[in-house]
């Protein structure tokens, strides 16, 4: 299994999601492209190149230049959107779903049902403008009761444990982590739960207790001797461009 960690610009959110705070942190925005036996899978779509809505600009202060958008970077790797067998959106923030319109030729695009339902709520318009995803082609997936994850809810996409979507709420209502397994080893794409396993910092939290549980679970996975890496979408340290296992 080969993972390409693709950086699509930066965001500069206010610290701890407090809108009145003037202090900002700068984080890279990552998507992940996975080459595996089941095909070509893209996790998240990065920031859009198109002009941001005013309130989003205020909240995230995104930075993205021509050539840094997901399609340009797929092209550099020799791929086009129609080559993608699956696109997984881990949550509907503009830096995860922003490029959704540009990868509509992918064979399948999936968004968590709870995330989609609750993201229609008014208070999310600040950072989840519907214009980036609502009128696009996608299917919903439903987590189900399992023994995996902080909520015991996950979905084994190919029923072989190679790609599992794990319900890890806290950052948003249904943020999903992607657990990859191959040859007895695992890598966790931890989405927007924390920016680092060590610091436990997060960009924004809608529910402290869920956030704490999700973070505890990420730490548990990181401590597993078979876990080779944790890749957050906004890491405090740069991610390796390619990781194979
Ligand atoms: Zn987010």
Domains of the chain from N-terminus onward: 2-244 (3.60.15.10)
Query: pLDDT tens digits for 216-244?
Result: 999 999 999 999 999 999 999 999 999 99
User: What pLDDT does residue 13 have?
Assistant: 85
Which residue in this structure is represented by tokens 């999936």?
Answer: 110
Beta bridge partners of 182: 185
CA distance 233 to 173: 17
111, pLDDT greater than 70: yes
How much distance in Å is there from the Cα of 183 to the middle of ligand 1?
30
- Residues surrounding ion ligand 1 at CB below 5 Å: 93, 192
Distance from the alpha carbon of residue 191 to the mean position of ligand 1, in angstroms: 8
61-97 pLDDT per residue, tens:
889 999 999 999 999 999 999 999 999 999 999 899 9
pLDDT category of residue 119 using cuts at 50, 70 and 90: confident
- pLDDT tens-digit profile of 159-218? 999 999 999 999 998 999 999 999 999 999 999 999 999 999 988 888 899 999 999 999
Alpha carbon of 146 to ligand 1 centroid (Å)? 25
Distance (angstroms) between ligand 1 centre and the Cα of 96 equals 7
DSSP string, 85-144: SEEEESS-SHHHHTTGGGGTTSS-EEEEHHHHHHTTSGGGGGT--GGGTTTS--EEE--E
Q: Is the pLDDT of residue 22 over 80?
A: no
């Amino acid at each position: 299994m080969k993972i390409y960690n693709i950086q699509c610009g930066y965001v500069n959110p206010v610290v701890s999601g407090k809108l009145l705070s003037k202090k900002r942190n700068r984080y890279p925005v990552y998507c992940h492209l996975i080459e595996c036996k089941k095909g070509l899978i893209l996790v998240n779509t990065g920031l859009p190149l198109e002009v941001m809505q005013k309130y989003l600009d205020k909240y995230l202060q995104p930075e993205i230049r021509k050539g840094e958008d997901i399609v340009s970077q797929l092209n550099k790797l020799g791929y086009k959107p129609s080559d993608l067998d699956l696109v997984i959106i881990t949550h509907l923030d503009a830096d995860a779903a922003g490029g959704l319109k540009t990868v509509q030729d992918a064979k399948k695009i999936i968004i968590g049902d709870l995330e989609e339902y609750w993201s229609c709520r008014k208070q999310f318009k600040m950072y989840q403008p519907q214009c980036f995803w609502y009128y696009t082609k996608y299917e919903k997936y439903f987590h189900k009761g399992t023994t995996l994850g902080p909520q015991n809810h996950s979905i084994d996409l190919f029923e072989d444990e190679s790609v599992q979507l794990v319900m890890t709420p806290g950052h948003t209502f249904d943020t999903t982590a992607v657990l990859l397994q191959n040859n007895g080893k695992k890598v966790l794409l931890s989405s927007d739960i924390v920016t680092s396993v060590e610091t436990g910092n997060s960009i924004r939290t809608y529910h402290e207790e869920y956030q704490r549980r999700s973070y505890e679970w990420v730490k548990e996975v990181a401590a597993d001797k078979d876990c080779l890496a944790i890749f957050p979408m906004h890491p405090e340290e740069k991610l390796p461009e390619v990781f194979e296992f």
